[in-house]
Chains A and B, each alone.
Chain A
Amino acid sequence: MLAKFIHFITRTENRISVSSSVLAIISGLLFGLIIMIITNPLESIPAFFTIIFSGFTDIGRVLEIATPIILTGLSVGFAFKTGLFNIGAAGQLMVGAIAAIYVGVEWTFLPSSIHWLIALLAAGVAGAFWGAIPGFLKAYRNVHEVVATIMMNYIGLYFVSYMVEYRLYDLENARSLTVKESAIIPYYGLDKLFGRGDVNFGFIISLISVLIIFIILSKTTFGYQLKAVGYNKDASKYAGINEKNGIVLAMVISGLLAGLAGATIFLTGVSGRHLETTEVLVSEGFDGIPVALIGLSHPFGILFSALFIGLLEQGGFYMQGFNFAPEIIDIITSSIIYFSALVILFKGFIVKLYKKNNMKDVKG
C-alpha cells in the first residue's frame, strides 16, 4: 500500500498537481496572514502561528473535527469523480443524523451490542436515499444536480427540524433526545489514546471508508465506469456503460458517506452534540466541499486535507483570545480553493521549475 502511495506521489504528473495544491495552500495561508496583518497588526503574527501549530498539541480534538469531514469530503469527492457536484452533503448528513438518532432513541428492542451499528447503518441508508433523489432527477430528468441538491438540503433541514420538534424533542434542553447508552458509538480506548477531545470508533470508520473508496475508484470495474462517466458521458455511453445508473449510484454512495458523517457527530452521549430546531444546516456538510477540492478528490488527498482543515479549525478556537473572529479560518480555506482553481498559474510555474532543475541535472 505504502509503496503504491509513494509510487503515486513520485509520478511526475501527480507530483505536479500535488505540488500545485501545496502552493495553493501556501498562498491561501499567506493571504490570510495579510488580512490579519491589515486588521490587527500587533497580534497578527502570534495568532497566525497559533492557527497553524496549536493543533499539534491537541491531536485528539483535531481528529474529532476531522472524522465527519473526512466522510463528507469523500462524499463530495466521490461525486466529483463522476462529474457531479454534490452540494447536498449537508442535507444528507442531517437526514442521516436524524435517522441515527431515531434508531438510537426508539429501537430499544435491538440487542445492545449491535444497537449503535444499526443506528449507524440507518444514517447511511437515509443519507443514501437523500442522495438518490437528486441523482435520479439528474439522470432521468436532466435536473442540474447543484440546484437539486441545494433544494434537498433545505427540504432535509425542515424535515429534520420537524422530526426534532415533534418526535424526538428533549423539552428540558430544547434539543433532540440523547440516544440510548447502547447506541453511542464506542470508544475502544481511542479517547484515552489521543488525549483531549472525543475520538471514537467513528474515526476508524472514516479511515476504513477512505480505503474502501480508494479501492472502488482505482481497483474495480465499477469505479472505472463511474470515472469514465465523469470524464465523458457520451463516450462512456458509447462504450456500453449505463451512464444513468452510474449517476444514480454515484449519488447513492455519496449520500451514504454523508449520512455516516451525521451518525459520527450525533451518536454521542449527553455532553455530545445534539440537533436543534434552529433550522441551520450543519456546517460539516459544507466543509466537505473544501476538503474534497483541496484533496483533489483523491481519497488519500481528502484524508490529508480533512486533517489539515481540522488543524486550522482547532487553531480557530483560540482566535477569540487574539481579538480575531474565527471566520479568518473560512477566509483562509476559501482563498486556498480559489488559488487551487488557478491551477494553470501554478502548474505553469512548477513545470518551469522542473525544466530548470532537469536542465541542471543534464549539465551537472
Chain B
Amino acid sequence: MEVFYFILQQMMYFSIPLLVVALGGMFSERSGIVNIALEGIMLIGAFVGVVTIYLVQDRLSASLYASISHGQLVLIYGLITAGMTGALFSVFHAYASVNMKADQVISGTALNLFAPAAAIFLARSFAFTNYTQQVSFNRRQFLIKKIPILGDIPFIGDILFQKAFITTFIGLLILIIASILVYKTRFGLRLRSCGEHPQASDAAGINVHKIRYIGVIISGFLGGVGGLVLIVSTQTEFNATVSGYGFLALAVLIFGQWQPKKILQASLFFGLMKTIASSYSSIPFLQILNFPSQFYKMIPFIATLVVLAFTSVSVQGPKAAGEIYDVGKR
C-alpha cells in the first residue's frame, strides 16, 4: 500500500506541471495561435523563478512571516515572477504571430532556441552562481509533510495532502478557474470563436487581435508558472533545461482534445508514465524485472506515440489554430 501511495504522490509531482502548461497551451490554441514555444517559455520562467527563490529565500525575515510557512511564501514569490516572465516572453510570440502574421512555428522555434541560450548566458554572468550555468535552491523548504486534519482523510489525504507541494493546489485551482473561464464567461466564448472562425468573430464585433494577444499571454503566464512548478517538484537545481516538458505538454493538450477535464486526465496519465520512468528502482515489482534503465526512460515517450496514434485520427483541434488571420478571407 505504501508503494501505491508513493507512486501516486510522485505522479502528482509530474502531472501538475504538465496540467498547468497544457492548460496554458489550451488558451493560446483556442484563440487560434499555435504555441510551440511552451518549452522555451517554461524554461525562461523557471529560470527567473529559481533566481527569485535564490535571492528571496534568505532575505525574508522568518519571524515576520511566522504565521505563514516561510518556504511557501518564498515559493509564491517565485511563481509570480516566473509567470510574469513567461507572460512577457510570450508577447514576442504574440507580436510575431498576430501583428506580423509570421509563421507561428518559426516564431515559436526562435523562442525555444533563445530561452536556454539566454538562461545559460545570464546564469554565467551572475556572481552567486559562481559563474556556472546551474542555479541551486533549497528544495526541502517547499515540501509540506502533512496538512493537519486534511492529511488524515483516507486515500485522498495520502495522495494530495501528504508530502505535497503547495503547487499541487495551485495547479488544481488553475484547472477550475480555466474551466470556468473557457466555458462560462463571455471572454471564453470569444476566445473559442476566434480559434474556430476568426472572420466570423470579427464580423460579430470581436477584436480578434486583442483576444489572441490575451490567449497567448495567458499561455505564457501559465507556461512560466508550470516551468517553475516542474523544477521545484522534481529537481534540486536548475540546469537550463526543462527536459522536453513543454513538448510533452503539447502532446497532453492534443491527447486532452483541448478540453480542461480531458487535459487533467491526460496529464495524470503522462505523470504516471513519467513516475515509472524516474522511480522504477523504488517500485518493487518493476525492480525485479531488472531491465536496463533506458528501457523505463523510454516508456513515457512510447506511450505518448501509441496513445496519439489511436486518438489523433478522430480528434479535431481548433479549426483556425496556426492559420494566419486574414481579414479579407471568408
Are A290 and B100 in contact, with the CB atoms below 8 A? Answer: no
Known: A39-B125, A337-B106. A344 touches B113 (CB 8 A): no
Chain B residues closer than 8 Å to A159, beta-carbon distance: 294, 298
Q: At the interface, is chain A mostly helix, strand, loop or mixed? A: helix
Q: Interface readout for A116-150 with B: 1 if CB under 8 Å, 0 if not?
A: 00000000000000000100010001111011101
**9 intermolecular pairs with C-beta atoms under 8 Å apart:** A85-B105, A142-B313, A143-B312, A150-B244, A152-B301, A325-B124, A327-B116, A337-B113, A342-B100
Are A151 and B250 in contact, with the CB atoms below 8 A? Answer: no
Is B118 part of the binding interface, using a Cβ–Cβ cutoff of 8 Å? yes
Chain A residues closer than 8 Å to B125, beta-carbon distance: 39-40, 325
Which of these binds chain A: B47-55, B65-73, B192-200, B303-311? B303-311
Chain A residues closer than 8 Å to B116, beta-carbon distance: 327, 330
The listed residue (B111, B118, B308) touching A147 by CB distance below 8 A is B308
Q: Interface readout for B273-310 with A: 1 if CB under 8 Å, 0 if not?
A: 00000000000000000001011011001101100111
Interface centre among A327, A330, A340 (most CB of B within 10 A): A327
Interface bracket on B = 35 or more
Q: How far is the CA of A152 from the CA of B302 in the complex (A)?
A: 8
Chain B residues closer than 8 Å to A304, beta-carbon distance: none
Interface centre among B110, B125, B298 (most CB of A within 10 A): B110
Q: At the interface, is chain B mostly helix, strand, loop or mixed? A: helix
Chain A residues closer than 8 Å to B103, beta-carbon distance: 341
Which of these binds chain B: A96-104, A161-169, A172-180, A204-212? A161-169
Name B residues whose Cβ lies closer than 8 Å to a Cβ of A.
36, 92, 96, 100-103, 105-107, 109-111, 113-114, 116-118, 120-121, 124-125, 133, 244, 247, 250-251, 254, 292, 294-295, 297-298, 301-302, 304-305, 308-310, 312-313, 315
Are B247 and A147 in contact, with the CB atoms below 8 A? Answer: yes
Q: How far is the CA of A117 from the CA of B133 in the complex (A)?
A: 40
Is A334 part of the binding interface, using a Cβ–Cβ cutoff of 8 Å? yes
Are A338 and B96 in contact, with the CB atoms below 8 A? Answer: yes
Q: How far is the CA of A87 from the CA of B137 in the complex (A)?
A: 32
B88 to chain A, nearest CB (A): 15
Are A331 and B121 in contact, with the CB atoms below 8 A? Answer: yes
Q: How far is the CA of A157 from the CA of B140 in the complex (A)?
A: 31
User: Which 6 pairs of residues, A with B, have the shortest CB-CB distance?
Assistant: A330-B117, A334-B113, A338-B110, A334-B114, A341-B102, A162-B294
The listed residue (A153, A289, A344) touching B100 by CB distance below 8 A is A344
Interface centre among B101, B304, B310, B315 (most CB of A within 10 A): B304
Q: How far is the CA of A345 from the CA of B308 in the complex (A)?
A: 37
Is A158 part of the binding interface, using a Cβ–Cβ cutoff of 8 Å? yes
Q: How far is the CA of A30 from the CA of B107 in the complex (A)?
A: 19
Chain A residues closer than 8 Å to B244, beta-carbon distance: 150, 153-154
Q: List 14 extra interface pairs beyond A137-B312, A344-B102, CB under 8 A.
A: A141-B308, A147-B250, A151-B304, A154-B244, A154-B301, A162-B294, A165-B294, A325-B125, A327-B117, A328-B121, A331-B121, A334-B117, A338-B107, A340-B106
Interface bracket on A = 35 or more
Is A45 part of the binding interface, using a Cβ–Cβ cutoff of 8 Å? no
B65 to chain A, nearest CB (A): 35
Q: How far is the CA of A335 from the CA of B112 in the complex (A)?
A: 11
Q: How far is the CA of A141 from the CA of B308 in the complex (A)?
A: 8
Q: Interface readout for A304-339 with B: 1 if CB under 8 Å, 0 if not?
A: 000000000000000000000101111101110110
Q: How far is the CA of A137 from the CA of B298 in the complex (A)?
A: 18
Are A162 and B292 in contact, with the CB atoms below 8 A? Answer: yes
Is A114 part of the binding interface, using a Cβ–Cβ cutoff of 8 Å? no
Known: A328-B121, A335-B110. A343 touches B102 (CB 8 A): yes
Is A110 part of the binding interface, using a Cβ–Cβ cutoff of 8 Å? no
The listed residue (B100, B117, B250, B297) touching A331 by CB distance below 8 A is B117
Q: How far is the CA of A85 from the CA of B109 in the complex (A)?
A: 10
Are B110 and A334 in contact, with the CB atoms below 8 A? Answer: yes
A315 to chain B, nearest CB (A): 15
Q: How far is the CA of A299 from the CA of B96 in the complex (A)?
A: 26
Chain B residues closer than 8 Å to A144, beta-carbon distance: 250, 254, 308, 312
B289 to chain A, nearest CB (A): 15
Considering only CB atoms, which chain B residue lies closest to A149 in the complex?
A: B247
Are B109 and A342 in contact, with the CB atoms below 8 A? Answer: no
Chain B residues closer than 8 Å to A333, beta-carbon distance: 113
Chain B residues closer than 8 Å to A152, beta-carbon distance: 301, 305
Are A155 and B302 in contact, with the CB atoms below 8 A? Answer: yes
The listed residue (B109, B111, B298) touching A155 by CB distance below 8 A is B298
Are B107 and A341 in contact, with the CB atoms below 8 A? Answer: yes
Is A247 part of the binding interface, using a Cβ–Cβ cutoff of 8 Å? no
Q: How far is the CA of A230 from the CA of B147 in the complex (A)?
A: 55
Are B102 and A151 in contact, with the CB atoms below 8 A? Answer: no
B113 to chain A, nearest CB (A): 4
Considering only CB atoms, which chain A residue lies closest to B114 in the complex?
A: A334
Chain B residues closer than 8 Å to A162, beta-carbon distance: 292, 294-295
Is A293 part of the binding interface, using a Cβ–Cβ cutoff of 8 Å? yes
B242 to chain A, nearest CB (A): 13
Chain B residues closer than 8 Å to A40, beta-carbon distance: 125
Are A141 and B117 in contact, with the CB atoms below 8 A? Answer: no
Chain B residues closer than 8 Å to A133, beta-carbon distance: 305
Interface centre among A40, A151, A289 (most CB of B within 10 A): A151
Considering only CB atoms, which chain B residue lies closest to A164 in the complex?
A: B294
Known: A337-B113, A344-B100. A325 touches B106 (CB 8 A): no
Q: How far is the CA of A125 from the CA of B321 in the complex (A)?
A: 35
Are A342 and B124 in contact, with the CB atoms below 8 A? Answer: no
Chain B residues closer than 8 Å to A154, beta-carbon distance: 244, 297-298, 301
Chain B residues closer than 8 Å to A330, beta-carbon distance: 113-114, 116-117
Considering only CB atoms, which chain B residue lies closest to A85 in the complex?
A: B105
